[in-house]
Amino acid sequence: MTFLTPLALVGALLAIPVILLYMLRLRRREVIVSSTFLWQQVLQDSEANTPWQRLRRNILLLLQLIILALMVFALARPFMIVPAVSAGQIELLVDASASMNATDLPGGGSRFEEAKRQALSIVDTLGAGDTVTVIRVADVPAVAVPATDDAAALRAGINALQPVQAEADWVAALTLAAADAAGAQQASIVIIGDGGLGDAEGLPGIPGEIRYVPVGVADSNLAISALAARALPGQPPQLFAQITNYGSQDADVIFDLRVDGALFTARRYTVPAGQSLPLVSESLPDGFGVLQAGLTRPTGSRVPDYLSADDTAWAVAAEGGARRVLLMTAGNLFLEQALRSLPGIQAFRGDVNRPLPAEPYDLYIFDGWLPPGSLPDGDLLFVNPPGNTALFTVGAESSATANPIVRRDDPRMAFVDFDDVNVLKFKRITGADWAETLIAVEGGPLLLAGETGGRQAAILTFDLRESDLPLQITWPVLMANLLEWFTPQAVVSAPDGLLVGQTMAIRPAAGAAQVRLTLPDGSTRALPVDRETLAFAETGAPGIYRVEVLGENGLMQSARVAVNLFAPGESAIAPRSTLSLSGATITPSARDEIGQREFWPLAALAALLVLLVEWYVYHRRLRVRTMFRPALRQREVVG
């Protein structure tokens, strides 16, 4: 053991005046007399002849010396050399994502609480000259405590951390840590979490040494991984759901569905380990508004479900008025049937041998045909375009249609499965920089969509009749997604809702003055309408968000948006034994650095306890003296 401030030990010399005070103190028996006049000379002689007294045993003196010794010991800041995870400039990244809410630790504690304990342990072993920056890794990473060596500030910042119910943005967190550590002579990044880094695993060139402190022990978790309502041709709306077992044991679960708050169905299922179970419900009631699905462990189940954040999901019915759609085709029953089967669509077929009708439409679908001259105002869907337009250029045909890739993270591709779809050939499209590729094959894109010139447009680059897409269940699902995306759309274009943490794009109607949002916890937010599209990013909690557009005369529009945690990277709670980062494999860190653990708080606490004992002894003596004084006076009067 050694001391950080050994000069404070000089304070032990204060014991000398404490002892002298006790030696100078005169102790005499109190006697009540009629007058002090005759005793003045005796007092003067006594004070002159006995300035010092023999030091007697006194428990108060002993206690005060112990207090002084403990205080001096604490001021000297004693410490011991102990092993530490890291040293120097430490970037401490604490995982606060949804998976850290898992309660798989002994005693039912959460992973996040254990992560905070690990972080506090690192703070407790800081060496001289070490500094720590605490970064909370959530959907929006943030610096919780800037670089400092103040252990008290670090402890307060770590104890104040809270987890979220969203995916963590590790790319932004590691970038933030790398920027903060730049220029430090000895820098290290310490990651405390369960190991799910997502897209950050491919980040190159992260400076400093990377260390990993794993948290978590089990993988057992069941989750609702998909939930949506769809209307198939000629049928009422149905619920499409999916339950995924991310654990290593087969698990029983009860799936319940509530429609507008009332229980609609509840059934028990067995989900095999590591697999998903798709569900299609019975016909939903007409005019339903909100669907809520939940998972419950049946009585007697021995397989735990350690993460509850993904056991509930929501879906809302499509809202908004009927959309006028003009189909320009020489004859395509697949398109006509799809438009007739979709709710909220008023479909009209035009004559390709005549000019476009003069009345406006919300959406124009051009199937193998283009209007002469300029394109009409409104949204556009091009199917197998025969030539160039102002929006794109049509190139040669290609038969390289193998290995289709669907952009799964795009809501327009929800439940779209192209693995079993066969396409004979398609046309190469160039010059459409405004569009995103939603479906692609080896030769190029099959479906592009985006916004340009204030309207939405999509391009299907092949002839439907030269594919088996119209014969697949994917066809009505794809058309429903695209038609929901096209304007005029609801206030919020999110037919299948949003993921927790995603930004909500709100498009209020013309003349709107304010947008009011009601969050799942009942709180409200107000947004001024100062642009065409408003962005709302406070979607950190799953549930139903209500959006209301207010004008001068009251409510103009309203919509409900479901926000869910459909995140396989968070629901798969099995902790990683290693990390892959910057092309290297990072194993759990051993404490091979040198740190120091201080003991002054214990000494200060002991000094406080001894002080309380000293206070009690002193006041007890006073109470005893007070009790005996009346008896002394009585004896003197009687004498």
Average pLDDT over residues 451-477: 90
CB 1 within 8 A of CB 79: yes
Average confidence score pLDDT of the chain:
81
Whether 279 and 171 map to the same domain: the answer is no
CB 562 within 8 A of CB 229: no
Whether 471 and 523 map to the same domain: the answer is no
Which tokens sit at 329? 């085709």
Where is the domain boundary, 485, 517, 541?
485
The sign one gets for the Cα dihedral 90, 96, 100, 101 is: positive
What is the number of structural domains in the chain? 5
Instruction: Give residue 81's pLDDT.
Output: 52
Q: CA-to-CA distance for 78 and 72, rounded, in angstroms?
A: 10
pLDDT band per the 50, 70, 90 thresholds, residue 591: very low
* In a domain? residue 491: no
Whether 458 and 337 map to the same domain: the answer is yes
**CATH number of the domain within which 519 lies:** 2.60.40.10
Average pLDDT over residues 587-613: 66
pLDDT band per the 50, 70, 90 thresholds, residue 559: confident
End-to-end CA distance of the chain: 65
The secondary structure of residue 631, as a DSSP letter, is H
Whether 241 and 209 map to the same domain: the answer is no
CB 6 within 8 A of CB 72: no
The secondary structure of residue 465, as a DSSP letter, is G
Whether 172 and 135 map to the same domain: the answer is yes
* In a domain? residue 254: yes
Q: Is 336 helix (H, G, I), strand (E, B) or coil?
A: helix
Whether 119 and 191 map to the same domain: the answer is yes
* In a domain? residue 492: no
Instruction: Give residue 204's pLDDT.
Output: 63
* pLDDT tens figures, 197-247: 877 766 666 767 788 888 988 999 999 999 988 765 456 778 889 999 999
Is the pLDDT higher at 11 or at 158?
158
pTM to 2 decimals? 0.59
Instruction: Give residue 630's pLDDT.
Output: 55
* pLDDT tens figures, 577-586: 888 776 677 7
Could you check whether the bond before residue 360 is cis, i.e. omega within 30 degrees of 0? no
Q: Note down the domain range covering 65.
A: 2-79+600-638
Instruction: Give residue 50's pLDDT.
Output: 53
Q: Closest by alpha carbon to 437, among 469, 405, 397?
A: 405
Where is the domain boundary, 316, 338, 357?
316
Asked if pLDDT for residue 62 goes beyond 80, the answer is no
Name the strand (E) or helix (H) holding 558. strand 554-564
* pLDDT tens figures, 564-578: 999 888 999 998 888
Q: Is 381 helix (H, G, I), strand (E, B) or coil?
A: strand
* pLDDT tens figures, 188-197: 888 898 887 8
* pLDDT tens figures, 246-301: 999 999 999 999 999 899 989 999 999 999 999 887 678 877 889 999 999 998 88
Whether 132 and 273 map to the same domain: the answer is no
Instruction: Give residue 175's pLDDT.
Output: 86
Residue 262's DSSP bridge partners are 259
Whether 164 and 306 map to the same domain: the answer is no
Instruction: For 383-419, give the DSSP string.
Output: ES--S--SS-EEEEEE----S-EE-TTSGGGTT---T
Name the strand (E) or helix (H) holding 596. strand 593-598
Q: Is 3 helix (H, G, I), strand (E, B) or coil?
A: strand
Size of the chain, expressed as the number of residues it contains: 639
pLDDT band per the 50, 70, 90 thresholds, residue 610: confident
* pLDDT tens figures, 354-408: 888 888 888 899 999 999 888 988 889 999 999 999 999 999 999 999 999 999 8
Instruction: Give residue 590's pLDDT.
Output: 47
Whether 302 and 359 map to the same domain: the answer is no
Q: Is 628 helix (H, G, I), strand (E, B) or coil?
A: helix
Residues 6+ away with beta carbon under 8 Å from 210: 188, 189, 191, 579, 581, 582, 584, 586
Q: Closest by alpha carbon to 370, among 459, 450, 445?
A: 459
Whether 146 and 239 map to the same domain: the answer is no
Whether 509 and 538 map to the same domain: the answer is yes
Whether 276 and 306 map to the same domain: the answer is yes
Is the pLDDT higher at 166 or at 602?
166
* pLDDT tens figures, 90-133: 889 999 999 999 998 887 789 999 999 989 988 887 776 788 89
